[in-house]
Structure 1
Amino acid sequence: MHVSFYGATREVTGSFHTLTTESDTILLDCGMFQGKRKEAEIKNRALPVNPKVLTNAVLSHAHIDHSGRLPLLTSDGFNGRIFCTRATAHACEYLLKDSAKIQEGDASYLNYKTAKHFLGKLKTGNGRKKVSKEELKEIKSLLKSGGHRLKTDAIEALLKKHQLEIIEPIYTMEEAEEALDYFNGVPYKDTVTVGKDLTCTFYEAGHILGSAMSVLQYKNGSSTKTVLYSGDLGRFDKPIIEDPTLEFAQEHCDIDLMIMESTYGDRLHDPVVNMKPLLKEVLKETFARGGSVIIPSFSYGRTQELIYFLHELYLKKEVPPMPVYVDSPLATHITHVFGEHPETFDKETHQVFLERGINPFSFEQLKFVQTVEESMALNRDTRSHIVLAGSGMCEGGRILHHLRHKIHDSRNTVLIVGYMGENTFGRHLQRKGEEFEASGRQGKPPVVRFYNKEYPLNAHVVTLGGFSAHGDRNELLRVLKDSNLRIKKIALVHGEEEQSLAFAEHLRKEKFNVVVPHHGQSVLV
C-alpha cells in the first residue's frame, strides 16, 4: 500500500492525506486551509482527490484545519463513513455548522460589496465624481435592512440582472448538517473495519478533547502493514485530558510508517507547570494598571483550558476576581461538549473538581456572552475584565471588535496563548507587539491595520507559549522514544517548512529514518 500527502505538507493547515491498498482508498483528515484569503479560497474549493474513489475517512480530531472540508467531501459523491472518536463527532456537530455560517457570511458580504460598488458607479456615471452621503445612504437602503442585515435576495437579483459575479459559499449550513450523518463515533482502543482487510484503532493524542492517533493495519495474506497517523500531538501533564499515549497494544507496536505532525519541531515550550503562575502574573499586572486582558482563543480546547486555570486561581483567591467573559457562541457550545465527556478527563481534573462536586467549567465570575448586543456592550466596558474570544488567529470574529476598542490603551494586555499561523493577522499583531516590548516601549507605538483602519498598538502584547496544544520538539521526541513503538519510517507533516526540516534533521541524529514530503508526494509502505 502507499500513502499520499495533499495537505499540511511543509505548512500547518489543510491536513489531507490518503492511504491506498489494493482494494481501498482511505482519507486521513479533510482540513481547511487558513491564511491569506485568496490563496486559502482557491485551495479550499478544490479537493485533490475525487470523493467518489474514497472508501471511508478517518478523522484525527475536530479542529477545522483537520475537519473543515468534510461537508465539501460529502456533498460531492463521497459514499463512505467518517470514523473518529465519540467526543470528536460530538464537537463536529457545532464546529462544522459554525464553519458553514462563516462561509455563508463571507459570501454574502463579498456579494454586498460588489453590488454596492456597482450601484455607486451607476450613480456617478462611471466618472470620478464621488458618491454623496445621501446617495450612499440610498444605496445601502437598497441592500440592507435595519442598517445591518443584508438583503441577500435583492443583492443576488441585482448581480444576476447585470451579469456580475456571484460568490458562493464553499459549503452551506444545509451541507454541513448533512455531513454529520456520515459520522461514526468510536471509543478509544476499539478496533473498527474501514476497508477490506483494513482496520483502524484510536489512541489518545493529548491535543484536545477527542483527539486521536490512528493506527491503520492492513493484513494481506501473510503480510501485515501498519501505519500510525499522529494527527496533532499534545503536551504532557496538561490539565483536563489524558496525556499522549505511550503504551500501545502489542499488535500495534511495529509501525511501518508514522505520519507525524511537526508544528513545533524546532521549538521548546515553557514547562506546563509554569503556565498557571505566568498567567497569574499577567493578570495581576494588568489589573494593577486598571486594564483588561484580551485573549484570542480557539473555541475548542484553549478556551476550556483557560477557564480551568482561571477557576483554580479564583478558588484559591490568587488573583482579583474580575469578570471573565467567553464571547463566542461556538466556545459556549463546545464548553458544554466538554462537560458531557468526563470519561476523557485526566486524574487531576477528577481530583481537583469532579470528586469535590465542582464543575470545572462553571464559576461565579464566568459569563457566556450570548448576543451581538451583549458583545457590543462589552466592547465599551472600561472596567477591568478578561475576554476570551475567537478567532484564535485573529482572522475574524468577535476578537477583532475587542481589539479595535482596546489595543490603543496601554493599561490593557493582549495575551497570546496559541499558535498564530504565518500570514494571519494574529501573527502580525504578535510580531509588532513583541518588537515594541523588546524596544522597551520607546517612541511611538507600532500601527496595525484591520477593518480598513489603522490603530496604535499601545496595549501590552504577551505570549505564553506553554499553553500550546501542540507538543514541542522534546515532547514529540518523547512519543517516539519513550513509547513501546518500533518505527521503521517517519513522514513529517503539519509544520511550516523550517520546523519540519529542522525536526527531520534532529530525528536523523537520533537514528530515525525520516522524509518530509512535498504536496502530492507518495510513500510506499
Structure 2
Amino acid sequence: MYVTAYGATQEVTGSFHTITTSDDTLLLDCGLYQGRRKECEEKNRHFLVDPKTISNVILSHAHIDHSGRLPMLTDQGFTGNIFCTRATADACAYLLRDSANIQAGDCSYLNYKTVKKFLEKAKQGDNPGNISRAELKEMQGILKSDDYQSKRSLIIEVAQKNNLEIVRPIYSQESVDRCLPAFKGMPYETTFTVGKNTTCTQYEAGHILGSAISIIQRKTPSGQVKNIMYSGDLGRFDKPIIKDPTLNFAPEHRNIDLCLMESTYGNRLHEPVASLKPMLKKVLTETFERGGSVLIPCFAFGRTQELIYFLHELYRDGEVPRRPVYIDSPLATNLTTVFGEHPEDYDEATHRSFLEMRQSPFSFEHLHFVHNVQESMALNRDPLSNIILAGSGMCEGGRILHHLRHRIHDERNTVLIVGYMGENTFGRLLHEKGKEYAESGRQGDAPMVRFYGKDYPLRAHVVSLGGLSGHGDRDEMTRVLKDSNLNVKSIALVHGEVEQSLAFAEHLRGEGFDVSIPLKGERMPV
C-alpha cells in the first residue's frame, strides 16, 4: 500500500491524493486549483489519475479547493461513492452549483470580450470574415443588448466561423446534478467500508462545519493493520459554533503509520481567539461614531457564519450600537441554512449561549439577508450606517465590489479584512495600501486603487482581523499531534506554500517527529 500526493503539494489549492492498495485506488479530495486563470486551466482540466480506476472518494470538507473537481470526476467515468460528513454533503450541493455558475459566467465574459475585439478590428478594416458594415452594426447592437440568448448565440456563431478561441467551463450544472447522487453523508466517528479490507472513520477537524480528519484503516492479507491519517484542513481551538479539532481517537486508530497533514500556516501564530470579539467591537464602535458603515469581504462558508455569531452576541448584550446587518450573498444565505440544519455539530458553548435559550445563532432582529440584485443596489443609496457582508472573500468579483465602488472614497467607512487575501488579488491590494496609508498617519493624498476600469481614492479605513482564520496556526496543528492520544510514526506535509511547509517540517522535527515534504507524484509506502 502506498500514498501518492498529486495536488496541493507545496501549494495550497487543488487537493488530490491517492491511496493505492492491491485491490483499490482511493482518492482523498478532488479540489479545484484557484489562482491565475491561465496557470490553473491546464491543472484543472486534466487528472493525473484515470477517474475510471478510482474505487471511492474520501472528502475532507466542502471548500472548493478540496471538492471543486468532483463533477469532472463523474463526467469522466468515476462510478464510486463520495464519502464525507452529512454537513459536507449538504454544503457541496450549494458550493458545486455555485462553482458551475461562476465558471459559466467567467467563460461567457471572456468569450464576449474575444468576439467584441474581433468585431472592432473588422470595423477598422482587418476583416478576415468579410463581414458587411450592416452585419457589423447588427452584431455590435446584439452584443450591447440585454438579450442574453441572442448574445450567446452570436458569440458562438462568430467564434466558430472565424476560428476564434472559445473558453469553456470545466463542468456544467448538468455535471453537478450527475455528481451529487454519489455523495454519501456519514456521521462523525462512524466506521464505513471504502474498499476491500479497507475502512474509514472521520473525526472533527474544527476547520468549517462538516470538516473531518479521516483515518483510513487497511487490514493486509498477512493480517497486519495499517492506519493512514489524512488531516484535511485543521481548524483553530476555542472558535465559536463548531467543535475543536479532535484530540481523542478510538484505540484502534491511535497508531498512525503515515499522517498526510496540512501546513497552510506552518510558520505563523494567530491572534488569540478570545481577542476577536473585543477587536470587532472596537472596529464597529469607531466606525459608527464616525457615521460610517463597515464593509466586510467575506467567504460564504464558515467566515460569514462566524461573524453573524459574533455580531449576534454583541447586539444581544448591548455592547455596540445596533445598526442593520446585511448578508449580501445568495450563496452565504443558502449555506447559513445548512448551518441551521446541523446543530449536532455545534460546540457546547453554542448550545449554552443559544440553543438552550431557544435562539438560533444565525437569526436576530437586525440581521437581513439580501435576496436579489435590486435589494443589493438599494443598499448603496442608504445614507445610514450599517454592516454589509458580501462576496467574494478576496474581492476578485461579486457584490462586494459594487459596495466598495460606492463607499471606498469616504473616510467615515471601514473595510474590514477577515481572511487570507491571496497574492495578486484585489483584496491583497486593498490590505497593503490601506496598511501603508494608516502607518503614514493617513497624511497626504489617499492611495488610488483601480477596479471596474476606474481609479478610486482609498479614503476608507482598512482594518485586518486576522484571528478569524479557519486554519490552525503552527502551535494549534502541533497540538493535534502532541496533545492527542495519537502515536504518529511519520508525517508528510501537504497543502502549504514551500516556505510554510519547510518551516513547519523543521518545527515538527524539533518536536521529535519524522517529517517529509513530498513532491507532486511522489509515492510514499505505508
Shorter-normalised TM range: over 0.9
Classify the secondary structure of the residue corresponding to 2:232.
coil
Structure-to-structure mapping, 1:88-487, within 5 angstroms: 88-126=88-126, 139-146=139-146, 151-220=151-220, 221-487=222-488
Q: Deviations over 1:129-183 (max 9, x none)?
A: xxxxx99996543125437787212221222222222211111111012110110
Confirm or deny: 8 A CA contact 1:12 1:421 kept in the other structure.
Answer: no
SS at 1:241's partner residue? coil
CA distance in 2, matches of 1:454, 1:366: 32
Letter in 1 for 2:295: I
Q: Give the counterpart letter for 1:102 in structure 2.
A: I
Question: Which position in structure 1 is the counterpart of 2:55?
Answer: 55
Say which SS state the counterpart of residue 122 (structure 2) adopts: helix
Alignment partners' CA distance in 2, 1:353 and 1:472: 28
**Structure 1 pair 160/148, CA: closer, same or farther in 2 (3 Å)?**
closer
Q: How many residues align?
A: 519
Q: Is the 8 A contact 1:141 1:147 kept in 2?
A: no
Q: TM-score, normalised by structure 1?
A: 0.96
The amino acid of 1:447's aligned partner reads M
Distance 1:396 1:14 in 2: 21
CA distance in 2, matches of 1:461, 1:289: 14
Post-superposition shift, 1:403?
1.8
C-alpha displacement of 1:511: 0.9
Counterpart residue number, 1:39: 39
Aligned 8 A contact 2:242 2:346 in 1: yes
Write the distance in 1 (CA, Å) between the matches of 2:458 and 2:177: 40
Asked if 1:80 corresponds to 2:85, the answer is: no
Measured in 1, the distance between the counterparts of 2:358 and 2:149 equals: 44
Change beyond 3 A, Cα 1:135–1:279 = farther
Amino acid at match of 1:258: C
Match of 2:105, SS?
A: helix
CA contact (8 A) 2:119 2:136 kept: no
CA deviations 1:406-460 (Å, max 9, x no partner) are 2222211111111222333222322222222222223322222333333222211
Name which of structure 1's ranges 397-406 and 475-484 shifts more when overlaid on structure 2. 397-406
Structure 1: distance between partners of 2:135 and 2:279: 54
Letter aligned with residue 68 of structure 2: G
Which sits farther off after the overlay, 325-334 or 47-56?
47-56
For residues 524 and 461 of structure 2, the distance between their equivalents in structure 1, rounded to whole angstroms, comes to 46
Match for 1:314: what amino acid? Y
Residue 517 (structure 1) aligns with: 518
Task: Give 1:460's aligned amino acid.
Answer: H
Query: What SS does the aligned partner of 1:143 have?
Result: helix
The CA distance in 2 between the partners of 1:324 and 1:140, in whole Å, is 42
Measured in 1, the distance between the counterparts of 2:57 and 2:67 equals: 11
Residues 450 and 48 of structure 1: CA distance in aligned 2, closer, same or farther (over 3 Å): farther
The farther-off stretch of 297-306 and 445-454 is 445-454
Residue of structure 1 in register with 2:130 after alignment: none
Tell me, yes or no, if the aligned pair for 1:51 and 1:77 is still in contact at 8 Å. Answer: yes
Residue 130 of structure 1: aligned partner: none
The equivalent residue for 2:8 is 8
Q: 2: CA distance between counterparts of 1:260 and 1:209?
A: 19
CA gap of 1:279–1:136, structure 2 versus 1, over 3 A, is: farther
In structure 2, what is the Cα distance between the partners aligned to 1:408 and 1:361? 31
Given the superposition, is the C-alpha separation of residues 411 and 138 from structure 1 closer, same or farther in structure 2, using an over 3 Å criterion?
A: farther
SS in 2 for 1:12: coil
Q: Distance in 1 between matches of 2:227 and 2:213?
A: 13
Q: State how far apart, in whole Å, the 1-side matches of 2:243 and 2:340 are.
A: 15
1:18-48 CA-partner distances (Å, limit 9, x unpaired): 1111111111111111111221223212222
Q: Using the alignment, how far apart are the partners of 1:41 and 1:379 within structure 2?
A: 35
Q: Which amino acid aligns with 2:514?
A: N
Counterpart residue type for residue 85 of structure 1: T
Residue pair 1:326, 1:332 contacting (<8 A) in 2 also: yes
Letter in 2 for 1:428: L
Find the aligned partners of 1:388 and 1:148 in 2 and give their Cα distance.
Answer: 29
- Separation (CA, whole Å) in 1 of partners of 2:149 and 2:227: 53
In 2, the alpha carbon distance for the partners of 1:367 and 1:262 equals 37
* Aligned equivalents of 2:171, 2:54: Cα separation in 1: 20
3-state DSSP class of the match of 1:200?
strand
Cα offset, 1:49, TM superposition: 1.5
Letter in 1 for 2:395: C
Mapped partners of 1:453, 1:43: distance in 2: 33
Q: Is the 8 A contact 1:116 1:139 kept in 2?
A: no
Check conservation: 2:139, 2:154, Cα contact below 8 A: no
CA distance in 2, matches of 1:32, 1:444: 40
Q: Is the 8 A contact 2:123 2:136 kept in 1?
A: no
Q: Map Cα deviations across residues 475-510 of structure 1 (whole Å, 9 max, x no partner).
A: 111111100000011111111111111111111111
2:25·2:53 contact (CA, 8 Å) conserved in 1? yes
User: Normalising to structure 2: TM-score of the pair?
Assistant: 0.95
Quote the Cα distance in structure 2 between the aligned partners of 1:138 and 1:382: 42
- Larger deviation, residues 169-178 vs 42-51: 42-51
1:244 deviates by 0.4
Quote the offset at 1:364 in angstroms.
1.2
Which residue is 1:499 aligned to?
500
Query: Match of 1:131?
Result: none
**Contiguous gaps of at least 5 residues in structure 1:** 128-133
Distance change >3 Å, CA 284–CA 174, structure 1 → 2:
same
- Partners of 2:243 and 2:136 lie apart in 1 by 56
Q: Report the more deviating stretch, 302-311 or 114-123.
A: 114-123
Runs of 4+ in 1 over 6 A off after TM superposition: 134-137, 147-150
CA-atom RMSD, angstroms?
Answer: 1.8
Find the residue that maps to 1:522 and give its secondary structure: strand
Kept in 1: contact 2:142–2:150 (CA 8 A): no
Relative to structure 1, the CA distance from residue 367 to residue 136 in structure 2 (aligned partners, 3 Å threshold; closer, same or farther) is: farther
